Structure 1
Amino acid sequence: MALGRGSALVVLLVCFLVIHSELAQAAIYTVGGAGGWTFNTIAWPNGKNFKAGDTLVFNYSPGAHNVVAVSKAGYGSCKTPRGAKVYRSGKDQIRLARGQNYFICNYVGHCESGMKIAINAV
């Protein structure tokens, strides 16, 4: 009976270590660097290696900008699809999902002025 309990404890400990190591490797990125989320940030992701679980921090003036998580079509057209998640706090933190992640500012003309990013998280 003690062997069964010991084995369960080992399995539980291994699961904890795997989960903890994955969380510890997640990175935090400030979109746009010191300038924050603003015009012409379209190239900001270039040269960076993003992973699923990394966090993007969008710093901007609320009321002047926003962040909208969109599909590839919404990114390409600079249009907000129905039901898209809109962030407005000015200090938004968004965790990346595995695969393609697209974000725009949907204020008139902002996305068209390069206020959008596309990120592939592996």
Structure 2
Amino acid sequence: MGFAATVTATVLVVVTMMTMMPEMALGAVYKVGDAAGWTIIGGVDYKQWAATKTFQLGDVIVFEYNSKFHNVMRVSHEMYKSCNVSRPIETHTSGNDSITIQTRGHHFFLCGVPGHCQAGQKVDINVQRLTSTAAAPEPSALASPSVPIAHTPTAPAPKAAASRVSAGFELLFLALSVLVIGAVA
């Protein structure tokens, strides 16, 4: 393959990779509760914690806790609202659980130890369904009244942004390395 063909192929790969980046698993890592972790001590407001983040596909949610006193259960919205732990979707008990967000929408987690959810040890990780900043279409006159959506910031947290930028540069470096290797060969 000649140099021009290598350059063309590499540019095509880079452009394709850059357009796919928002959907690729280049996620940020979020420790639930930040320094406090997953606990009922210290009055962590997990609702407020989550509201300050902009979660995306591929992000990793880390629950750090003492496994003798806590666990992490992923539950349905109804179970989350009522702190019902009878049929969790999944249960984690390691004390250092990393969960990669693979679907859009709400992901509800709570501690299944009696009284902990009621004390506030629950979190709603919401990966927005609409990633566009364009305004949503107006509902029709026949539609039922809309329910207001809780405010979430439009910009990712600095840690998340840094992680995604770093991953983007890694992909760019990889593509340029292929270009240089192709030129030398």
TM-score interval for Structure 1 and Structure 2 normalised by the shorter chain = 0.7 to 0.9
Please tell me the residue identity of whatever aligns with 1:116: K
User: Structure 1-normalised TM-score?
Assistant: 0.79
Q: Any unmatched runs of 5+ in structure 2? A: 1-5, 129-185
- Once the two structures are superposed, what CA deviation does each residue of 1:86-109 show, in whole Å capped at 9, x if it has no partner? 000000001122111000001000
Structure that is richer in helix per residue: 2
Q: Retained in 2: the 8 A contact 1:41–1:116? A: no
Alignment partner, residue 86 of structure 1? 91
- Partner residue in 1 for 2:77: 72
Closer, same or farther in 2 for the Cα pair 1:18/1:38, shift >3 Å? same
Matched, 1:42 2:79: no
Shift of 1:38: 1.1
1:102 maps to which residue?
108
CA distance change for structure 1 residues 109 and 95 in 2, over 3 Å: closer, same or farther? Answer: same
Q: Is the contact between residue 30 and residue 57 of structure 1 (CA under 8 Å) also seen in structure 2?
A: yes
In the alignment, does 2:121 pair up with 1:115? yes
Q: Which runs of 5+ in 1 are unaligned?
A: 1-5
Other structure's SS at 1:86 match: strand
Q: How big is the shift at 1:117?
A: 0.3
More strand by share: 1
Q: Using the alignment, how far apart are the partners of 1:49 and 1:21 within structure 2?
A: 13
Q: Deviations over 1:7-53 (max 9, x none)?
A: xx798887666666744631110000011011244322012100122
- Residue 33 of structure 1 corresponds to 34
